[in-house]
Amino acid sequence: MGDERYTIELKGRIDSSNAAEIEAAVMKQIEDNVGKNPVFDASDLIYISSAGLRILMKVKKRIGSELLINEVSPEIYEIFDATGFTSLFTVKKKFRTLSVDGCKVIGKGFCGTVYRLDEDTIVKKYESAEALSVIEEEKRLAKIAFVAGVPTAISFDIVKIDDCYGSVFELIKSKTFIDLIIDNPDDADATIKRYVDFLKEVHSIKMDQGVLPKAKDRFLARLDVISKYITPEVKDKLYMLISSIPDDYHFIHGDYQMKNVMLSNGEPILIDMDSICTGQPIFDLQGLFVTYVAFTEDDPENSMNFSGITTEMAHRIWNGVLKNYYAGKSDDELEQIESGIKVLSYVRFLQLITESEFLQSGELGKLRIKHATEHLTELVGKLDRII
């Protein structure tokens, strides 16, 4: 069986009176989808008897691989559990449904949108067709980070939102750091410093080797994605520069923009853990340059549309991050450090643009690709190392 999947629906009551008919229909679907993996949808299943369970056993024997049964009600789950089916199959309970109508949007990214449900809870709604696997992987990574001492929120529930899935988090009386900036712009410098201090705290956490992916490997892979937009010479130089970054196994969030850091009961907490990895601090700082500088270069309204702040404030955040993270460095040293950050930033930025049909379309997309390519060509021409 390949990785491609198709859905078989189980509906109503399945017992001795209709088991033969349902078995024939199920086997016909399997015959029509040779080479694919069936996934059973039990969202409309009311009852299943031993005759129905035998159908599932025959399917498992027929396909010779793991069988996944989704959207199982608590009552049906009890039947599966009592008969030992939960140890033979992957059985996933039905998710409770949730509405985000009228809820405040507190964050929006490439994978989904974060809504505030009430004072104590938020939900991240995923738009991807592969949302369930993405949510489960993010939960797994968040648990790894939490055990290692990273202050993070762990999802306590997976829910259905319309035709999408969402992940629910408890974050009592919380605000994002971008909310703090918007609410109190006069205190922006103090907020930025606290934000950077927390980033340094996060970067001080060392992970066991091999537990998380290496950020450096992710960036080397991105070179293949953007190779059609850069010359072979530029690609080779980028490969050399990124490869020469020393390995480091300290924690990296991967998308540490201010909307992904919450202040909950006075304590900073990370959300959106799907891109966590290990590496040098520069691998987090590049993402902040992308968010607060690169996206604004050809679209001055980007920061207001994405974060609710002006371009001026976005640049103030970036400059504050750089100076606070490298406090004590001279202007010349900061310029050298920022050049290295920019190399990674424009690799990431170009990859984001080129992998999104929406972002690369139109004149803005073409302009962004043109300028990112020009920046990379200029940077690799004058740098012999990133750090």
- pLDDT tier, 125 (very low <50, low <70, confident <90, very high otherwise): very high
* 224 vs 97 pLDDT, higher one: 224
| Distance, CA of 5 to CA of 179 (rounded, Å) | 41
Q: Express each pLDDT in 292-345 by its tens digit.
A: 999 999 999 999 998 999 999 999 999 999 999 999 999 999 999 999 999 999
Q: Express each pLDDT in 104-119 by its tens digit.
A: 888 777 678 889 999 8
> Where in the chain is CATH 3.30.200.20?
104-170
State the burial class of residue 63 (Cβ atoms within 10 Å of its Cβ: 0-12, 13-18, 19+): middle
Q: What is the per-residue pLDDT for 129?
A: 62
Residue 26: which of 10, 42, 5, 2 has the closest Cα? 10
User: CA separation (Å) from 24 to 11, 21, 60, 236, 382?
Assistant: 15, 5, 15, 58, 69
Phi, psi of 77 (to 5 degrees): -60, -40
Checking if the pLDDT of 2 tops 60, the result is no
> What percent of the chain shows pLDDT beyond 70?
98
- pLDDT tier, 94 (very low <50, low <70, confident <90, very high otherwise): confident
| Distance, CA of 99 to CA of 222 (rounded, Å) | 37
| Distance, CA of 195 to CA of 256 (rounded, Å) | 10
Q: Topology of domain 174-382, per CATH?
A: Aminoglycoside 3'-phosphotransferase; Chain: A, domain 2 (3.90.1200)
pTM: 0.80
Q: Express each pLDDT in 130-145 by its tens digit.
A: 787 888 888 899 999 9
| Distance, CA of 167 to CA of 161 (rounded, Å) | 10
Instruction: Tell me the pLDDT of the chain averaged across its residues.
Output: 92
Checking if the pLDDT of 172 tops 90, the result is no
Q: Which two tokens stand for residue 128?
A: 């991807």
> Where in the chain is CATH 3.90.1200.10?
174-382
Q: Which two tokens stand for residue 29?
A: 């679907």
What's the CATH architecture for 5-94? 2-Layer Sandwich (3.30)
- pLDDT tier, 69 (very low <50, low <70, confident <90, very high otherwise): very high
State the burial class of residue 175 (Cβ atoms within 10 Å of its Cβ: 0-12, 13-18, 19+): middle
User: CA separation (Å) from 331 to 19, 272, 288, 322, 346?
Assistant: 76, 33, 19, 11, 22
Checking if the pLDDT of 369 tops 90, the result is yes
| Distance, CA of 341 to CA of 349 (rounded, Å) | 12
* 166 vs 66 pLDDT, higher one: 166
Mean pLDDT along residues 261-284:
94
Q: Kindly state which CATH superfamily the domain 104-170 is placed in.
A: Phosphorylase Kinase; domain 1 (3.30.200.20)
Biggest CA-to-CA distance, the chain:
82
> What percent of the chain shows pLDDT beyond 90?
74
Q: What is the per-residue pLDDT for 183?
A: 97
Q: Express each pLDDT in 219-259 by its tens digit.
A: 999 999 999 999 999 999 999 999 999 999 999 999 999 99
Give Cα 334 distance to the centre of its chain.
Answer: 30
> Where in the chain is CATH 3.30.750.24?
5-94
Q: What is the per-residue pLDDT for 3?
A: 63
Q: Which two tokens stand for residue 61?
A: 């024997």
Q: Poorest-confidence range of 3-7, 44-48, 122-126?
A: 3-7
Checking if the pLDDT of 127 tops 60, the result is yes
Strand 90-93 relative to strand 68-72, pairing: parallel
User: Mind spelling out the 3-state secondary structure of the chain?
Assistant: CCCCEEEEEEEEEECCCCHHHHHHHHHHHHHHCCCCEEEEEEEEEEEECHHHHHHHHHHHHHHCCCCEEEEECHHHHHHHHHCCHHHHCEEEECCEECCCCCCEEEEECCCEEEEECCCCEEEEEECCCCHHHHHHHHHHHHHHHHHCCCCECCCCEEEEECCEEEEEEECCCEEEHHHHHHHCHHHHHHHHHHHHHHHHHHHCCECCCCCCCEHHHHHHHHHHHHHHHCCHHHHHHHHHHHHCCCCCCEEECCCCCHHHEEEECCEEEECCCCCCEECCCHHHHHHHHHHHHHHHHCCCCHHHHHHCCCHHHHHHHHHHHHHHHCCCCCHHHHHHHHHHHHHHHHHHHHHHHHHCHHHHCHHHHHHHHHHHHHHHHHHHHHCCCCC
Mean pLDDT along residues 49-68:
89
